[in-house]
Amino acid sequence: MIDKKLQAFVPKIVLGIDPGLARMGYGVVTQKGSQLKALDYGTLTTEAHTPLEERLAVMFEKVQRVLKKAKPDVVAMEELFFSRNVKTAIAVGQARGVALLACGLAKVPIFEYKPSEVKQAVAGFGAADKQQVQKMVKLLLGLQEVPKPDDTADALAIAIAHAQSSGTQLSEAVKRLSKSPVNSTFLKR
């Protein structure tokens, strides 16, 4: 077991997943102390009008490839929430299930977060809008621009939320950034 004082200096790799059947965002973030860096991010897709079982199999294989490439220490995933469109919620749930299965088979621990918890951790406000969260993702990871599509930025936000909640000083950095007059004005634009 690594001494707690030394643990802050050992990089940890967090894979964030924003589940979906048509598009599943992923973001790989390395955390060393309170420092975060994006290693890889993107969106996994499946073809519309393809039988459901084929789409799920394709998504499963793609998640497995990301896991093999990233070699994460943990996976952070958004909890399933029900929307008005039950058909969409079921499809998201099925895609989420294959992602959970891939992580389970790879023996990678999974942590789940509600959308409001992700917003709170990244933007310092549980009801932050999508643009505020995306701007904070860009700022916290030192990216040149907000990752696109939204699923990718959301996955990075989920990874950041896990890093923030895993006992680092990042929460204080997020609070300072969100309270700074310059950054609070930037986030409201």
For 58-103, what is each residue's pLDDT tens digit? Answer: 999 999 999 999 999 999 998 876 666 777 788 889 999 999 999 9
- Of the candidates 73, 79, 145, 151, the residue annotated as catalytic is 151
- Of the candidates 40, 54, 78, 129, the residue annotated as catalytic is 78
User: Considering its fold, how many domains does the chain have in total?
Assistant: 1
Contact between 14 and 32 under an 8 Å Cβ cutoff? The reply is no
pLDDT tens-digit readout, 123-151: 887 788 889 999 999 999 999 999 999 99
Question: If we measure between CA atoms, which residue out of 100, 96, 95, 111 comes closest to residue 46?
Answer: 95
Range of the domain at 59: 4-188
Band of residue 3 on the pLDDT scale cut at 50, 70, 90: low
Known catalytic membership, residue 151: yes
Question: If we measure between CA atoms, which residue out of 188, 76, 32 comes closest to residue 123?
Answer: 188
What pLDDT was estimated at residue 156?
97
What pLDDT was estimated at residue 171?
43
- Of the candidates 3, 18, 53, 112, the residue annotated as catalytic is 18
Strands (E), the chain: 12-18, 23-32, 35-45, 74-78, 110-113
What pLDDT was estimated at residue 124?
83
pLDDT at 18 over 90: yes
Known catalytic membership, residue 18: yes
Contact between 137 and 121 under an 8 Å Cβ cutoff? The reply is no
CATH code, 100: 3.30.420.10
